[in-house]
Structure formats: structure tokens, C-alpha cells
Amino acid sequence: MRLASHILSTLFLFSLLTPFTRGSETPPAPENSEHTRYDRTLRIAVTKPTEWHFLSGKQQRASRHAVEYENKVLDMYLKRYARSSSIVISKYPEPYRGQNPTVIIDLLPLGEERLSDSLRVSELHYTNMRQFLRGEIEVKQLPVLTEIDGKKFGYYRVAYTLGVEKLPPFNFDQRAWFYSLPLSAVSILALTPQSGDDVSQAEIEAIMASIRFNPRR
């Protein structure tokens, strides 16, 4: 299964999960709290803003049915095939009929690609985004290397619009980070409106700054 086959899920909230082999010296898992969530598979801890929400699998499923996208391929995929992501943080509870600022942390399967270069993963994902949206995309940052908690991530940023039935179009500002693993990559997506009260720049930056890998108690 190629990276391109997963673009619909990573485009918009819900990547499929694959197993992740742990090392023999797994640190003790931190306890979850109201504002901090630790994922044992990803071995990542993240803290949300006080007024934001961690979405359960049930809430993630509800969010996929809260709106209907004019892109019928995307809409069908989200409703029929997409699975819940490891960690999802949103400004508003779901289901929410509108653009809900959201951060999604998950595993992106690479299958036969087996890429060891985080920048290359971000370049392929960026290329697939452009192909899927057929040029209707504003590039804010071409793929580059950046750092999250001492690890080198590939990163890009784009803006695009998705038509929504019975609602104004959703104008997305998408930031995407990828960290390559042997058979998959850690994927972090931040999806916010391009303008208005819900741009949430400070909150997204705070969430990203809170991320810790292999945290100890």
C-alpha cells in the first residue's frame, strides 16, 4: 500500500493505524490527566489548552457525519472507511457544524515505501495533497526540516478550500509534520480556518510546544 493511497485520510482528520514495534526499554507511561494525554503506541504526550477538548473515538466518528463535503470521494471515505486517530484535540466538542480548529496525532502507514527520511515523507505527502486538490492550493511553506522535542520532522504548510453542503466553504490552513519510523511515520496535522476568531495560532503553537516523546513520570 503506497503513501498516496492514504492521502484522503491524512488530508482531513483520520489516518489508518498500523502497529508500531516498541523498543525493549520502554519508559514508564505517564498518567493521563484532564489536559494531558499519553499515547502508548506513539509514546507521545501532549497537553491541550484548558478550554479545548480531547475527542474520543465516538466523537471522532460523530464529527465525520456532522457535515457533508461537496467532494464526494472525500466525503464517502470519511464516512465509510476512516478510523479513529490516536490523539485528536479540538477547540469545540464534536459533532460541530462548522470549522473546528483541530490537531491530529497519528501513525501514517508507509507500506512498501519504507522511507527513513522524514523530509522525504513530508515531500510525498505534500505532492499527494497537490494532486488530490488539483492545484487549488496555496503553498505557505514548502517541505523543510524542523524540530519537535529534539526530533527532526519534515514540515509543510498549505491553504485550501473544501465545499460543504448547506454551509459556507471551509477555508483550511493546514500545517503538517512527519517523523519517519521503519514502517510508518508519526503524523501531526493542525487544521484551522484561514481567518476569523478561530485561527487559533497561539493555541496551536502551545500544543506543539507541549509535545514530548518517550516522557517519564
Report pLDDT for 63.
Answer: 84
CATH number, domain with residue 144: 3.40.1000.10
pLDDT-flagged residues of the chain (< 50): 1-25, 217
pLDDT tens by residue, 62-109? 888 888 888 888 888 878 877 788 999 999 998 888 899 999 999 888
Three-state SS across 117-139?
CHHHHHHHHHHHHHHHHCCCEEE
CB atoms within 10 A of CB 200: 23
Classify residue 193 as left (phi > 0), alpha (psi -120 to 50) or beta.
beta
Report pLDDT for 114.
Answer: 59
Report pLDDT for 3.
Answer: 38
Question: The pTM is what?
Answer: 0.83
Instruction: State how far the Cα of 42 lies from the Cα of 212, in Å rounded to an integer.
Output: 11
**Domain hosting residue 139, numbered range:** 3-19+28-213
Q: Look at the chain and report how many structural domains it folds into.
A: 1
Report pLDDT for 97.
Answer: 82
Report pLDDT for 33.
Answer: 82
